[in-house]
Chains A and B, each alone.
Chain A
């Protein structure tokens, strides 16, 4: 007996249309993940000529599209990756960095570097030694950033670095709960029929 009064296709179309209106980029990611399809092990029966050996089976791998029910599962999983998992990663990294101190260099050693291009933006004549005068910021949150514009970009646009911003753990918790509520509504797996005895 079906658990829903709608089909997997109805649910998939509704989900993607709603996501599209909130975040077209996420909707594109979801479609790409669905269109990547899946691998299955296909089976082929080889029937020999009359009076020869019995029929044989051979197996081979094959790419096929997802069913609507599977595509729905993929869509939810992509959403969860970006909205929950990526934020949890940032929070987890920040938690680990928090527990580590920042090293203050005890002294700087002069070095000569003739071959450094003139465009380099930092002081060129200093090198940190491994001696540490004091440790700063232990047990304090750290400012972590991803470089916005790598060194090799030819025409620089002065893009800012991207700072890590934590998402409140309670917000993530409620978001995960919303995903948990959505999952049974998008689950079209056939219930298993076993012998009750």
Chain B
């Protein structure tokens, strides 16, 4: 039978571990952005699995460091040397961005946590500063790192956003390391985002699924 001393020892071992709570600084917005970086990394992997080498770029120079926006921003902003990735697949040029704002079909602007868009539209909006149209987006992902059950309103908001992006959007996904008991059902109807729930490095199968869905859609779209 386990005693309270056993429990105390197990908790103490955790607390005194070099990577335990004592060495940990909780900065929630950074964790949330780190999840976007993680999903961005999975997009890079999906592209590489198609035999294509993506490149990391910055808006003004080689991205050292590669800077993720701390808040939603504009694609043409030169406030910092924000990073993005570019790649060419079957002569179609794309860019991968994080935290960039787009104009929806209604005229309302929306931020996408991670997206893949046509490179020509991105370049045009950097040349002539403007928000890119939603029609330039191929894939869009909402990324939520949570330490508890997800809030339902996040799913509702993303469904509304996707609805305003029009029919050019080939792929939309709601990514989170957590889930909610009702969310999978909510995302079930056609045209709703794919629920990449429990997408986390703790579950390599979920990562493989994300990469597989993206690379298959990229292949299909560029084959035409």
Contact = CB atoms under 8 A, between A and B. Distances in A.
Interface of A: 2-6, 10-11, 14-15, 18-19, 22-23, 25-26, 29, 32-33, 36, 38-39, 74, 77-79, 81-97, 99-105, 111, 113, 115-116, 120-124, 126-128, 130, 132, 135-136, 142-152, 161-164, 167-168, 171-172, 174-175, 178-179, 181-182, 184-186
Contact of A115 (B7, B34, B129): B129
Contacts of A86: 31, 34, 145
B77 A146 contact: no
A150 B74 CA distance: 11
A178 B148 CA distance: 21
A102 B13 CA distance: 41
A96 B45 CA distance: 6
Contact of B66 (A14, A135, A145, A182): A145
B92 to A, nearest CB: 13
B20 A175 contact: yes
Contacts of B181: 39
B37 A144 contact: yes
Nearest to B39: A93
A181 B129 contact: no
A10 B7 CA distance: 10
B224 interface: no
Given A92-B201, A135-B55, A143-B66, A5 B60 contact: no
A120 to B, nearest CB: 5
A102 B30 CA distance: 23
B81 interface: yes
A88 B65 contact: no
B86 interface: yes
Contact of B60 (A77, A100, A123): A123
A151 B42 contact: no
A81 to B, nearest CB: 4
Given A93-B41, A127-B123, A182-B14, 14 more contacts: A5-B4, A6-B3, A18-B12, A77-B147, A86-B34, A86-B145, A104-B62, A124-B78, A127-B126, A144-B68, A146-B33, A161-B80, A181-B10, A182-B11
Contacts of A132: 55
Nearest to A120: B78
B61 to A, nearest CB: 8
The contact size tier of chain B is 35 or more
A19 B37 contact: no
B154 to A, nearest CB: 14
Contacts of A111: 127
Contacts of A184: 2
A2 B93 CA distance: 62
A11 to B, nearest CB: 6
Contacts of B54: 100
B13 A147 contact: no
A102 B58 CA distance: 9
A178 B14 CA distance: 6
A185 to B, nearest CB: 5
Residue from the set A77, A99, A128 with the largest chain B CB neighbour count within 10 Å: A128
The 9 closest A-B pairs by CB, nearest first: A96-B41, A147-B70, A150-B71, A143-B65, A33-B148, A103-B55, A88-B201, A81-B147, A25-B26
Contact of B200 (A4, A78, A85, A168): A85
B65 A101 contact: no
A39 B152 CA distance: 12
Given A116-B129, A127-B127, A26 B26 contact: yes
